[in-house]
Amino acid sequence: MSTQPKQFLSDKVALFTESVIRDMTRQALLHGAVNLSQGFPDFPAPAEVKRAAQEAIAADVNQYAITWGTKNLRNAIARQMQKWQGIEVDPERQITVCCGSTEAMISTLMAVCNSGDEVIIFEPYYENYGPDSILSGAKPVFVKLRPPQTPDGEWTFDDAELRAAFHTRTKAIIVNTPNNPTGKVFTRAELELIRDLCVEHNVLAITDEIYEHILYDNTEHISLARLDGMRERTVTINGLSKTYSVTGWRVGWTVAPPAITNAIRKVHDFLTVGAPAPLQEAGAAALGLPESYYQSLAAGYRARRDRLMPVLTEAGFRCFRPRGAYYVMTDISGFGYANDLDFTRFLVKDIGVAAVPGSSFYRDPKDGAQQVRFAFCKKDETLDAAARRLKKLSRG
Ligand SMILES: Cc1ncc(COP(=O)(O)O)c(C=O)c1O
């Protein structure tokens, strides 16, 4: 009998593909392209934060930390939640430190979802949420974010469409603000509508706030947990990756009511035991950086956004101006390509710039077939190298 390795695979794993975003980074390496695909900074992390990690290793913080996170880091997270969002958190009963916000999200979904539960996701969405839902047994239900009609407009959703997505099988809604890939920063009015629907239908909100400090144009980040009625029905997810430019350290966390935290801690414990112990200590130091750090982080990203957008526009992309996070979603219909995959393949091989095909952010690839996302969390030299290559596009 011939061997059929595929017969050993689970049904679940057949329901999703490998990450397109991470694959684009491999393509960039293969073709020697400038990598504006995956969202990781190519500049150094803050010196104080790196020093704190080195010191922790030198001090032999090398063994398992408490499974739900070192006390120093949990205390620092609780202090910052109070300072930034005015939310009182008990670090002993409400915080779970995970291996990145990626693990925080899947541990949360596994802790709260039963098979057949529905989870509402705004679309386009960060691609992990699809497989996360499948692996936790939940069914994703998508609500469209519609692109702005004017260069300065906002991505919006239809209130009635959101309302219609809530019903008896709805367990949770995922809200990612500031948003990847659109750069949308949800407004207070939008969050209040989400709050009203969660309360009315007894639904949990899971918020991904990983770009909390990367905001432009006087936008404000509002944690859903801050709104009346949401404290007891919100899991707030955040992490070190983006705020401190340490995506490879894999430290993130959940903040949730005690009963939900207990469930998340159980899943997290058996999934990964714990996040890297010395890097958690460095995380505590990172969260203590002064106000000026966060201001210059946002200002640096605003300058990069304003450097890249005119380059893209000049090259023939229609840009949707992000209000937060570090991506520009663009419309590529001016190039006359049948779809985003053909276009990004051409871009990486012939132009030498890697970007992410828009279809990877939609359930139905057709919806993203004329969109491409660029990441601008890169050094000026990297953005300038991309600019030189992208000039080839406008020359025809
Ligand atoms: C919206 C969003 N959430 C989570 C992550 C991953 O975060 P972490 O490195 O903490 O796992 C990313 C990374 O790009 C992201 O864009």
Instruction: Using the atom order of ligand 1, give the atom closest to the CA of residue 38.
Output: 14
Q: Which amino acid is at 352?
A: G
- For residue 328, report the distance from its CA to the centre of ligand 1, in Å: 16
Q: How far is the CA of 334 from the centre of ligand 1 (A)?
A: 30
Average pLDDT over residues 233-237: 98
Q: How many helices (H) and strands (E) does the chain have?
A: 12, 13
Q: Which structure tokens are listed for 238?
A: 């955040």
Q: What is the pLDDT of residues 112-125, one digit of tens each?
A: 999 999 999 999 99
Express each pLDDT in 127-144 by its tens digit: 999 999 999 999 999 999
Coarse DSSP helix, strand, coil percentages of the chain, rounded to the nearest 5 percent: 45, 15, 40
Any ligand 1 atom below 6 A from CB of 210: yes
Q: pTM of the entire structure?
A: 0.96
From 105, 126, 176, 237, give the residue whose CB has the most ligand 1 atoms within 8 Å, as the site to mutate: 126
Atom of ligand 1 nearest to the CA of 40: 14
pLDDT confidence of residue 192: 98
pLDDT reading at 230 higher than 70: yes
101 Cα nearest atom in ligand 1: 10
335 Cα to the center of ligand 1, angstroms: 30
pLDDT exceeds cutoff 90 at 110: yes
Lowest mean pLDDT, pick from 9-23, 181-195, 223-237? 9-23
What string of DSSP letters covers 265-326?
Answer: HHHHHHHHS-S-HHHHHHHHHHHT--HHHHHHHHHHHHHHHHHHHHHHHHHTPEEE--SBSS
Q: What is the pLDDT of residues 31-72, one digit of tens each?
A: 999 999 988 999 999 999 999 999 999 999 999 999 999 999
Q: Strands, DSSP E only, in 177-246?
A: 204-208, 234-239
pLDDT value, residue 395: 62
Nearest-angstrom CA–CA distance, 362 and 369: 9
Per-residue pLDDT at 108:
98
Residues 148-161: pLDDT tens digits?
Answer: 998 789 999 999 99
pLDDT tens sequence across 311-348: 999 999 999 999 999 999 999 999 999 999 999 999 99
Q: Residue 356: CB within 6 Å of ligand 1? A: no
- Residue 111: pLDDT above 60? yes
Confidence of residue 2 (pLDDT cuts 50, 70, 90): low
- Confidence at residue 173, expressed as pLDDT on a 0 to 100 scale: 98
pLDDT value of position 121: 98
Q: Is the CB of 324 under 6 A from ligand 1?
A: no
Average pLDDT over the chain, rounded to an integer: 95
- pLDDT, residue 15, reads 86
pLDDT confidence of residue 160: 98
Share above pLDDT 70 across residues of the chain, in percent, rounded to a whole number = 99
pLDDT at res. 27:
85
- Using most ligand atoms within 8 A of CB, pick from 40, 210, 235 the residue to mutate for ligand 1: 210
Is the pLDDT confidence value at 1 over 60?
no
pLDDT for 7 equals 84
Q: CA distances (Å), 40 to each of 21, 120, 379, in order?
A: 11, 27, 11
Ligand 1 center from residue 102 Cα (angstroms): 6
Mark out the alpha helices in the chain (DSSP H runs): 20-31, 47-58, 71-85, 100-112, 129-135, 159-165, 188-201, 258-272, 277-287, 291-315, 340-346, 380-394
